Amino acid sequence: MSEKINKRIELCANVGITLATLLISYTLIRGYLFRPAPIAEERPATARRAPSPGATPSPGAKVTIPGVDFASSQRTLLFVLSTSCKFCKESAPFYQRIIHEAQSIKNLRLVAVLPQDEKDGAKYLSDMGMAIREVKQSRPESVGTSGFPTLILVDNNGAVKKAWVGKLPAEKEAEVVNRIKCATCG
């Protein structure tokens, strides 16, 4: 009789373990494989590593910023930043390098575009060691992007030649430096 009870207990334990395993598996599968994608507006723009569709200005698109006459220089590099952007702060050493390189490049103008007012933007840049003289207040959408940081190279007509969004890996940083050094690259 004791053997019969042990077999029943073992059977009940096996059924319980099997049911628990199935329930846990169902919960994990449902939670990880079938969860809805987050809505883009729920994520701050500064958290984006790669641009969402439409977030990067297309080559040839026209950019207008009040108070900026693109015709005054052959090319302009726009730094689209925000004082609250962690990736902007993390990218500061690279931006300092670009600014240093730009000093020896003829016909390359540097303009910082921030959603904050120009005085706060200038102080922010100064605090980060970024000597950009031209600071303009404008929303990132006005230059065709939705995230920070973004670098946009435009020609003397305000047409986008190339844009880079987010904190850049080393190979993209090298691409930016090569592109701004190349006078015939746009």
Are 63 and 151 contained in the same domain? yes
Q: How many domains does the chain have?
A: 2
pLDDT band at 25 (very low <50, low <70, confident <90, very high): confident
Are 124 and 77 contained in the same domain? yes
- Any domain includes 10: yes
pLDDT in tens, 26-48: 877 777 666 554 444 434 443 43
pLDDT in tens, 147-180: 899 999 999 999 999 999 999 999 999 999 999 9
Q: What residues contact residue 107 under an 8 Å CB cut-off, 6+ apart?
A: 73, 74, 75, 183
- Any domain includes 186: no
Are 80 and 155 contained in the same domain? yes
- Any domain includes 142: yes
**127-158 CB burial, b ≥16 within 10 A, e <16:** ebebebebbbbbebebbbbbbbbbbbbbbeeb
Question: 29 is in which domain, residue-wise?
Answer: 1-35
